[in-house]
Amino acid sequence: MTTLPVRPPLARSSDRVIAGVCSGLALHLGWPVRNVRLGMVLAALAGGAGLLFYAWLWIMVPTADEAARRSARRPASPIAPAVSQVAGPGTAHDAGMGPGAAGTVTPGPGQAGTVPWFRAGGVRYGKEILLGCGLLLVAGIMIAQMLGVDVSLGTLIPAAAVLGGASIAWMQLDETRRAGLVDKTKADQAGGWGRLAAGLALVVAGVLVMVSGSGSWEQTWLALLASVAVLGGVVLVLLPWALKFWRDLEAERAGRIRETERAEIAAHLHDSVLQTLALIQRRAGNEHDVVRLARAQERELRGWLFQDHGRETGQLSDRIKAVAAEVEDLLGNAVEVVSVGDAAMTEAREALVQACREAMLNASRHGGGTVSVYLEASDGQAEVFIKDRGPGFELADVPADRLGVRESIIGRMNRHGGSAEILSTGDGTEVRLRLPAAAAQGAEGKS
């Protein structure tokens, strides 16, 4: 008995020509997408079985997005908040594909070569190829008729209308497709409804012509009128039910969203706060560890609660806060960062951050209490002040082989066109770092 291979769940992929059924199926079965598509076309020619199968899968199989949403994600462990904060932003948007699709489209080992081929040949020109095939088919039929072969246009055209209308209408059900449309052309709900109506009209007209079986315009027109009247009546009768059903559905969906949010918050609290509380209880004897854990957890929770997601991240103030968090974790003394203004990161500003880190480490190690850090960035100039309340020191008294202050702070700032000043008295030490706009911009131009 062979062991069953682990298959990815069946979901419609965003790598698609019509609705992503074939590529989703290929992913699920581990077959090349090309073969699946070819098979589907062949099956469609065999009395329309492929078409039926395709439509059935289209309706029944969720998109990759929906499937991903069903398996809720849990937040990463926050016990190393400094690390997770640095790594956090940016990863979700880098993939360059549809939202949420990045994880699911990854091809299995067997298809690594075929998927790129399809990406170049299939997806980019997929619609055009499909359209071309359709036009060729029409041309073929016309030529066949000219050559005297009897093709009954009377059934072919209505059938095509029904098929086309149905797929136009179904495409509206496709969430990813609609999202794509909204993104690309700013088409809103109105456009969607228009397409739905057009699809419906095509199907109704096609069915009528097929059923009535006559090309007579008069008769078709009458039948159309009658059927529209009947449809209108049915809609009138069913509308209240439909509305009620719709409202129930909406209410249920809202409830589910709330439930999901609650579950996410619960998961986050569990993974962060409860874990930290457990750690604190186990280490209740060690005051130093308790304070450190509480500070780290506070920082993480604050970041999660108050982070402004619309704000640009990776700015100078974010870097300095991240470095402060790192120093806090390392040495256990609180590092309070107050920032005014902000600036984008450059090579020179990274040097400023590193010098700042060194100063914070010194302040925390030798000052022994809370370290105050103040960042002011305006018009490209950045100033950072690092203050502690330790016993202070004389720069001249520092042994020549200790490079922390001389090299990592003063030397580094000077090399990047900035300056560093150290003021130390018996009441504490303040390190003042300054990076003028010209220095920061110059480095930006070089890199």
**What would the x/- binding string for other proteins be over residues 291 to 320, using CB under 8 A?**
-----------x---xxx--x---------
User: Which of the stretches 60-68, 78-86, 383-391, 398-406 binds other proteins when contact is defined by CB under 8 A?
Assistant: 383-391
Q: Measured from the CB of residue 394, what is the shortest distance to other proteins in angstroms?
A: 20
CB of 81 to other proteins, least distance (A): 16
Q: Shortest distance, CB of residue 282 to other proteins, whole angstroms?
A: 21
Binding mask 399-438 for other proteins (x = CB under 8 A): ----------------------------x--x--------
Given 271, 289, 376, 444, the residue binding other proteins (CB under 8 A): 376
Q: 243 and 235 in contact (C-beta within 8 Å)?
A: no
Answer for the pair 427, 387: CB distance below 8 angstroms, yes or no: no
DSSP letter for each residue of 67-127? HHHHS---PPP-SSHHHHHHHSTTTTTTT-SSTTTHHHHPPPGGGTTHHHHHIIIIITTHH
Apex 339 CA angle, 335 and 343, nearest 5:
125
116: left (phi over 0), alpha (psi -120 to 50) or beta: alpha
Residue from 200, 374, 392, 436 touching other proteins (CB under 8 A): that is 374
As given in the structure block, the two tokens for residue 178 are 């609609």
The sign of the dihedral angle between the CA atoms of 345, 349, 354, 358 is negative
Q: Is 370 in the site for other proteins (CB under 8 A)?
A: yes
The region of 35-43, 136-144, 335-343, 439-447 touching other proteins under the rule CB under 8 A is: 335-343
Nearer to other proteins, 219 or 370 (CB): 370
Instruction: Determine if residue 373 is left, alpha or beta; phi over 0 gives left, psi from -120 to 50 gives alpha, anything else beta.
Output: beta
Per-residue tokens: 261: 């949010």
Residue 341 interacting with other proteins (CB under 8 A):
yes
Strands 428-435 and 381-388 turn out to be: antiparallel
- Total of chain residues touching other proteins, rule CB under 8 A: 20
Q: Give whichever of 286 and 378 is closer to other proteins, judged by the CB atom.
A: 378
Q: Does position 284 bind other proteins by CB under 8 A?
A: no
Does residue 281 interact with other proteins by CB under 8 A?
no
The amino acid sitting at 84 is: S
Residues near other proteins (CB under 8 A) are 302, 306-308, 311, 336, 338-341, 370, 372, 374, 376, 378, 385, 387, 389, 427, 430
